[in-house]
Structure 1
Amino acid sequence: MNKNIRPLAFLIILLSTAITSWGQQPFIRLTNPLKTDNSSSYSKQFITGSTCKSCTITMNNVAQKVYPTGAFAIQLDLQQGNNQFKLIAKNKSGKSTTKVINYNYTEPAPPQPVTSFSIAYVQTFPSGDLIVAPGDKIQFRVKAQPGGEVAVEDKFRLQEIPLGGTQQMPGIYQGTYTVQCNDPLINGGRLNIVLRNNNQSVAKRTESSYTLLNTNEQPLIGKTKGELPYLEYGLGDDRLGGAKMGYLDTAVLLSITGKVGDEYRVKLSSTLSAYIPSEMVELLPGGTFPPRSNTGSWKVYGDDKFDYVSIGLSCKLPYRSIQEINPSKIIVDVYGATSNTNWITQLQNVQEIKNVYYDQKEDGVFRVIIELKHEQHWGHQVYYDGNTLMIKVKRPPQSKDIKGLTIAVDAGHGGRNRGSRGPTGVYEKDMTLAISKIVAKKLEDEGVNVLMTRVNDSYVDNRYRIVYYQEKDPDLLISIHTNSSADPIRVEGTSTYYKHIGFRDLSTSIYKKMLGTGLKEFGNVGSFNFALNAPTEYPNALVETLFISNPEDEMKVLDPAFREKMADEIIAGIKDFVKNAR
């Protein structure tokens, strides 16, 4: 071979690369904002997007940082009125393209008092149509002309809040009404709010209607239906939904004492209520007895995989389970139960249950305490077999090695649920699948039986994911996602999430290893209300690998070698968890 051929080939490659780079067509592809003309009441905004990898970007003639992926993120500090931002992308040969973004910024106007004889608005709390019972409280807030008299149906007078502190505007009237038996206000419809001043009157109706549930008559009883009915602590809400108290079995009886919008209020004890979506409840005929039961005898036993506690009841009562650590316990409160347990039969084939006992916490609240032999919780499930309450306790793996374990790898999002989007336009669903496949392959190479939610770009409902894994019963589950923030410049890094305190060590172990990738610290987050953190049947953790919204983090997740590195650290965290579990 001619010795000059190899250097010549190398030169050709260099020239080809240079020509390709030189000739890249400039473009500007925005991921935020998506429109050219925008309005905002917030002064801080961001422009994110991408251009060709060898291009430069200027905004209003000021050079901006372009990442090796072509991504860019620019903070805008808007001034009152119209703001114009001219983006120019230019390649190395001097070709350019331009995109103009307009933001019309209007500062929110300070609230102004009502100057005419009128009612501006009526707010009620809780909001939504209500079914109320005697003793319930309804809060009213009305904005109307100052100096008048405001009353609900001319029967309950509201007070105008004096100026001072945070109250800087006159004409705000408030009051808290306590519902009475045979209530004169509550008539099944909307309520009139009346403003009176100088022999004039004007009225405005509430948007919500109010119906009285007389609990002195027949109580209202329902039972759970469908898959995964759940109780919520209250009416709060965010992007993850209301804070869940826990899931219930189907056909569990509930004492219903009211309704707010589409949520039934459920009385669990004299001091505790919860809420449940009405779609998860079947109302039972009038005359149905409230859910109450004495407890019968217990049996504590095991089979080849689990330990069990069975408690005889006469009907299916609602319950709540929690995990405790140091020492490790499973606590199950059964609502509507009264102790008539006079013996607890305990067999020698149990392996994880150390001790069981109970406490009658108050009238109708029966507490089951299960002490575990090991510090680490490996999962439990509460369900009914007929009217027998069953608490199934998972035993720890026999080995400190992951070989032979069944591990679920959940690739977040998929199909029409695309998840977050990076500046270059890459979707979270594609990156989570890519990372999950690497994790799954490496686990299989180590002798792990891997379960996956999805292996392609398909949509899988979160409720189905939970039911699927409850049936498959993995030893643990890892759900893989990428994070996102409205601030693409300052917010970055890796994080892990858990809900139940007994599973915290899994998320902590993975988090410590993920920091070894060089990603910044965003935190290990507890009590997280994500669907796949909710099951108690197996240890689980959500891994938000990095912020795909941040160009620096996005550049890393787009790198196959870095995805491989993250997969290695996730597996290392799993190994540490299994090895160190006591």
Structure 2
Amino acid sequence: MTRIAALVFACFVTIVGGGAPALAAPLRIIYPPAVYRTDSASIFFIGAAPPAGDLRLDGRAVPLNRQGYFAASAPLKPGVNTFYWVYRDKKGTLQSQQQQVTRRVEPPLARDRPVLAVRSPLVDQQVPALAPVCLEAQATPGGRVLAELAGKSLMLSELPPFRPVEDSAAILSGAAGGELVSGIYRGCLAADPAWREQVPRFELRWQGQNLSAQAPAAITTLDPRQIVVVEVVPVEAIVRAGPGAGYARLAPLTQGVRSQVIAQSGDWYRLQGEGWIQKSDLRILPAGTPLPKSAVGSLRTRTSATGSELLIPLETRLPTSVRQEETRLVVSLWGAVAATDLIRFESTDPLIRSVQWEPITPQGMRFYIDLRSSRQWGYQLRYEGNVLVIALRRPPRVSRALAGLTVMLDPGHGGNDTGSTGCSGVQEKTVNLQIALRLRNQLQRAGATVLMTRTGDRTVSLARRVELMRATQPTVYLSLHNNALPDAGDPLRQHGTSVYWYQMQSRNLAEALHRQLIGDLGQPDYGLFWDSLAVIRPTEAPAVLLEFGFMTHPDEYARLLSPAFQERIARSLTRGLTSWLHAAG
């Protein structure tokens, strides 16, 4: 399972000799627990019962497959929902079970009385002078909302009703978009250079009634006479597109990189160039510390045992961002000043065809590294002193089948992290490992060297999995999973095989394996996805995450437990890797 929350199962099972769970009672509801709370407008159920009997949910027949596994879904009304299960075996013996699911619902926005709530700012902000500052509130529709900031009044505009942008859970489950949001008032003004800890106030005027509210945060304009310079503390700091953990991740910054703070929102700093970093990952340098700035003179390329490298000599380490395209890398250096009049190329360079550059605003340079091949095998950025090294990996030297290929297999979850749970109580971590061990054998028979992030039932953190990849430098990285749905999903309708990629160098690998699995397994095509997942974000090698099937679909789950089907998965991936490898351009 990927970003979707792992299923929780709250019933006791007895383990028999083969490791499969045996029925502790004729009817078992694996998910949801007997008492459960959710924000979803619907809920799904999975479980198991002897297949010869009759199972009903609130009087509605629930089919049992050959193994006795079942799945069902039901709408939820706001508040407490009680469900009644009845199972009748062949002898007519009845077993009943009751479940209670509470749907949490935000109360609707009042339209018959004045209400006012501040939406922005909610945390203290520091902004550049003259930068746009937007104030936002939610209030009774049809009114007038005024904001006051540092003695200036601003009439906020009421936005038309809209549905919130769908999150990944809604897209994966096929659930409809959220409820319409109305009563949002927004307005923007330019930051005055004199603002110091100014707290916005809001006032709603509605049908002759007034209501006021004060923001819980202050806004300060950065003093252009005081330059704040920070230095990255951890080995690698997470950079995000906005001030919060919910924003997309950008290229990380490495330890020792210095940059200017150009904005602050709560505990997040925006640095020169692009991206936001948590305050805890930065060290504020003493006043008077010079801005990170470096001339960039002559460049050169060189070849190594692992590939080709572009060397950019600098006077100090600078913030860097990278964008990978199909046939090139685009590297931006913030604080770089162009003094480049010569680039020396290795005449025998097998990977780098050319390097171009241009100045960018704000102060910086952007480098375009054009490659000879449309297939990329990984890259790394590192510093040798103050020389930025952009290292590109060469393709593997392969002969027959997969000889010369090093594959890292990552059986998802493990130990305390169980992943999702299937209809009879088998946990995803177990199925992932079984498939990985079978795949290891198939790959080794085809000549590949196989590395694994775990070979037993133990906890391996996401960070440790990434460390293992970077330390061992495999040719490809495969993270093996099986899927589940969020509460709003319909397990009988949403199921199948899917593959996920993040870096551009991994796209054709994801496409090849997805195509092979769909053709060989006979499963529905659940999709091919770009997704920012921790284990496939590293740039060192092509990396994909595979979801072979759904633990929440009765028939798919039964197949995933089958040794024969696990072998089919292993053979299919081995064929897909072989075809992809030898089709390399």
Q: Hey, what's the Cα distance between the residues in 1 that align with 2:79 and 2:309?
A: 68
1:54 Cα deviation (Å)?
Answer: 4.2
Q: What one-letter code is carried by the residue in structure 2 that aligns with 1:111? A: L
Q: Hey, what's the Cα distance between the residues in 2 that align with 1:363 and 1:60?
A: 64
1:98 Cα deviation (Å)?
Answer: 1.0
Instruction: Please give the secondary structure, in 2, of the residue aligned with 1:422.
Output: coil
1:136 Cα deviation (Å)?
Answer: 3.9
1:235–1:428 CA distance, 2 compared to 1 (3 A): farther
Whether 1:540 and 2:543 are equivalent positions in the alignment is yes
Q: How does 1:442-453 map to 2 (within 5 A)?
A: 442-453=442-453
Q: Is the 8 A contact 1:49 1:71 kept in 2?
A: yes
Instruction: Please give the secondary structure, in 1, of the residue aligned with 2:516.
Output: helix
1:165–1:314 CA distance, 2 compared to 1 (3 A): closer
1:164 Cα deviation (Å)?
Answer: 7.3
1:360–1:196 CA distance, 2 compared to 1 (3 A): closer
Q: What one-letter code is carried by the residue in structure 1 that aligns with 2:359? A: Q
What number of residue pairs does the alignment pair up?
542
Q: Hey, what's the Cα distance between the residues in 1 that align with 2:222 and 2:315?
A: 27
Q: Is the 8 A contact 2:238 2:277 kept in 1?
A: yes
Q: What one-letter code is carried by the residue in structure 2 that aligns with 1:413? A: H
2:409: which partner in 1? 409
Whether 1:205 and 2:200 are equivalent positions in the alignment is no
2:166: which partner in 1? none
1:459 Cα deviation (Å)?
Answer: 1.7
TM-score by length of 2: 0.84
Pick which of 91-100 and 546-555 moved more.
Answer: 91-100
1:203 Cα deviation (Å)?
Answer: 4.5
Instruction: Please give the secondary structure, in 2, of the residue aligned with 1:497.
Output: strand
| Match among 157, 175, 178 for residue 153 of structure 2 | 157
Q: How does 1:38-117 map to 2 (within 5 A)?
A: 43-78=41-76, 84-103=82-101, 110-113=108-111, 115=113
1:429 Cα deviation (Å)?
Answer: 1.6
The structure whose RCO (Cα within 8 Å, separation 6+) is larger is 2
2:124: which partner in 1? 129
Q: Hey, what's the Cα distance between the residues in 2 that align with 1:453 and 1:348?
A: 39
Q: How does 1:349-388 map to 2 (within 5 A)?
A: 350-362=349-361, 364-388=363-387
1:508 Cα deviation (Å)?
Answer: 0.8
1:294: which partner in 2? 295
1:222: which partner in 2? 230
Q: How does 1:468-487 map to 2 (within 5 A)?
A: 468-486=468-486, 487=489
| Greater gyration radius | 1
1:25–1:209 CA distance, 2 compared to 1 (3 A): same
Q: What one-letter code is carried by the residue in structure 2 that aligns with 1:233? A: A
Q: Hey, what's the Cα distance between the residues in 1 that align with 2:324 and 2:318?
A: 20
1:228–1:68 CA distance, 2 compared to 1 (3 A): farther
Q: Hey, what's the Cα distance between the residues in 2 that align with 1:423 and 1:246?
A: 40
1:581: which partner in 2? 584
Pick which of 201-210 and 247-256 moved more.
Answer: 201-210
Q: What per-residue deviation string (whole Å, max 9, x for no partner) do you get for residues 346-390 of structure 1?
A: 334533222333233456332222222222101111121111010
Q: Which runs of 5+ in 2 are unaligned?
A: 1-21, 164-179
1:63–1:352 CA distance, 2 compared to 1 (3 A): same
1:292–1:399 CA distance, 2 compared to 1 (3 A): same
Instruction: Please give the secondary structure, in 1, of the residue aligned with 2:216.
Output: strand
| Match among 255, 259, 265 for residue 260 of structure 2 | 255
Q: Hey, what's the Cα distance between the residues in 1 that align with 2:342 and 2:443?
A: 46
Instruction: Please give the secondary structure, in 2, of the residue aligned with 1:208.
Output: coil
Q: What per-residue deviation string (whole Å, max 9, x for no partner) do you get for residues 425-467 of structure 1?
A: 2222221111111112222233322111111222222122212
Q: Hey, what's the Cα distance between the residues in 1 that align with 2:442 and 2:542?
A: 20
Whether 1:455 and 2:455 are equivalent positions in the alignment is yes
**Seq. identity, %:** 25
1:180 Cα deviation (Å)?
Answer: 1.0
Q: What one-letter code is carried by the residue in structure 2 that aligns with 1:228? A: E
Q: Hey, what's the Cα distance between the residues in 1 that align with 2:83 and 2:208?
A: 57
Q: Is the 8 A contact 2:159 2:185 kept in 1?
A: no
2:311: which partner in 1? 310
Q: Hey, what's the Cα distance between the residues in 2 that align with 1:412 and 1:468?
A: 14
Q: What one-letter code is carried by the residue in structure 2 that aligns with 1:63? A: A
Q: Hey, what's the Cα distance between the residues in 2 that align with 1:155 and 1:142?
A: 22
1:39 Cα deviation (Å)?
Answer: 6.4
1:176: which partner in 2? 188
Q: Hey, what's the Cα distance between the residues in 1 that align with 2:304 and 2:206?
A: 77
1:392 Cα deviation (Å)?
Answer: 0.5
* RMSD (Å), alpha carbons: 3.1
Q: Is the 8 A contact 2:147 2:156 kept in 1?
A: no
Q: Hey, what's the Cα distance between the residues in 2 that align with 1:200 and 1:154?
A: 24
Q: What one-letter code is carried by the residue in structure 2 that aligns with 1:256? A: V
1:408 Cα deviation (Å)?
Answer: 0.6
1:280: which partner in 2? 281
1:461–1:128 CA distance, 2 compared to 1 (3 A): farther
2:7: which partner in 1? none
1:40 Cα deviation (Å)?
Answer: 6.6
Q: What per-residue deviation string (whole Å, max 9, x for no partner) do you get for residues 310-366 of structure 1?
A: 1111111111222222xx222212122122122223334533222333233456332
2:569: which partner in 1? 566
Q: What one-letter code is carried by the residue in structure 1 that aligns with 2:124? A: D
Pick which of 58-67 and 166-175 moved more.
Answer: 166-175
